[in-house]
Amino acid sequence: MPEQTTATPQATASTGSSVRRIFEFPNPVNEYAARITAGLVVLAAVATLATGFGPGLVLIAVGFWLRVLFGPRISPLALLSVKVLAPRIGRAKLVPGPPKRFAQGIGAGLTTVAAVLFYLGFVPAAWILLGVLIVAASLEAFLGFCLGCTIFAFLQRRGLIPDDVCEACNNIALRQV
């Protein structure tokens, strides 16, 4: 009979925390890196729209899902922004992470639906959704206005997102300057 082993509470806790660490999103995040990533998304989306390259929708969606699930650790656009481009700007401008993750989630959903619509033959609808993404990402990249963050704040004020998800969003004393 094979020997049975049971995991110790410490081993289970460390395994659980290791898995949780994989799916962590930074908090706070560098606003400049977020804006640069949005700019790169705009470039990819405009190129996809201009060429009619449907697989580009899938690539953009995958990038969003990587950022939502793993933060900037795996996404090529986020890595370029965080590790190469943003440090060249200088000192980081830190902002709360949860609203940025929420915004990435909206982008993931939008581009996933656009890709599905494209492959189901509803090509004009897919391009319209990509156009909406281009507008939202352009607002972030060029004006520093995060539409997803604004929606996050609205939902938090209405109690649909608990205050403890982003305490810094509601408590001015906790915000980075």
From first to last of its 177 residues, the chain has per-residue pLDDT tens of 444 444 444 444 455 566 666 678 888 999 999 999 999 999 999 999 999 999 999 999 999 999 999 988 899 999 999 999 999 998 899 999 999 999 999 999 999 999 999 999 999 999 999 999 999 999 999 999 999 999 999 999 999 999 988 888 876 545 444
Q: Which two tokens stand for residue 5?
A: 């082993």
Residue type, 71: G
Query: What is the C-alpha separation between 169 and 84, in angstroms, rounded?
Result: 28
d(CA 75, CA 61): 11
Rounded CA separation 112/104 (Å): 12
Contact predicate 49/148, CB 8 Å: no
Vertex 161 angle, CA 158 and 166, to 5°: 115
Residue 42 near residue 50 (C-beta atoms within 8 A): no
Phi, psi of 87 (to 5 degrees): -60, -25
Which residues have a Cβ under 8 Å from the Cβ of 147 and sit 6 or more positions away? Answer: 103, 106, 136, 139, 140
d(CA 118, CA 123): 5
Q: Which of 39, 49, 50, 54 is nearest to 120 (CA)?
A: 54
Query: What does the alpha-carbon distance between residue 94 and residue 82 come to, in Å, rounded to a whole number?
Result: 13
Task: Measure the CA–CA gap between 30 and 87, rounded to whole angstroms.
Answer: 10
pTM for the model stands at 0.84
* Residue whose structure tokens are 């094979």: 2
Q: What pLDDT digit, counting tens, does each position of 90-142 carry? A: 889 999 999 999 999 999 999 999 999 999 999 999 999 999 999 999 999 99
